[in-house]
Copies of this chain bind each other. A is one copy, B any other.
């Protein structure tokens, strides 16, 4: 019958790509559905066939960001090496990410700024992403033998947030070195 429908619906993909780009660059409440449709080269009916509404589009955007980051993490783990090396590689990857890709801050933080209701679907995705990231870091810190892995993970989450925000508002040339230096200190990589 039907094989995987990954390329079956180009409309949906173009829609999600355009929405992701616009939501990230201009804020969620700042872009209307019309802008997204125009950018995607698609009409209203197509969008409402693939997504329940604008909020579902926002959710899909954040879900795909989450999937991308989990992919980064899995790739880093697949490369092997000691947990300590892996920790250093995660820090470097974040520095590259804020330099090249996420130059407009953190998608999740920015989204949360516009969605005050903590029970909303959007905020639930943000919370789930952050919980996963902190736990993944805590496991890594534990494997690396850090004295207080949970505290170290909390600090590293803190630092990634700050690096993303700072790269946007202060310029990456100021923020990235400060992030790497502080993070390596927290991770016990530099004594």
Residues of A within 8 A of B (CB): 25-27, 29-30, 104-105, 108-110, 112-116, 126-127, 130, 134, 151, 154-155, 157-159, 161-163, 165-166, 168-170, 174-175, 177-179, 181-182, 185-186
Contacts and interface: CB of A to CB of B under 8 A. Distances in A.
A162 B27 CA distance: 20
Contacts of A175: 154, 158
Contact of A154 (B113, B169, B178): B178
A40 B173 CA distance: 43
Main secondary structure of the interface of A (DSSP, over half): helix
A55 to B, nearest CB: 13
Contact of A159 (B25, B30, B116, B158): B158
Nearest to A165: B161
A112 B166 CA distance: 11
A159 B186 CA distance: 12
A150 to B, nearest CB: 9
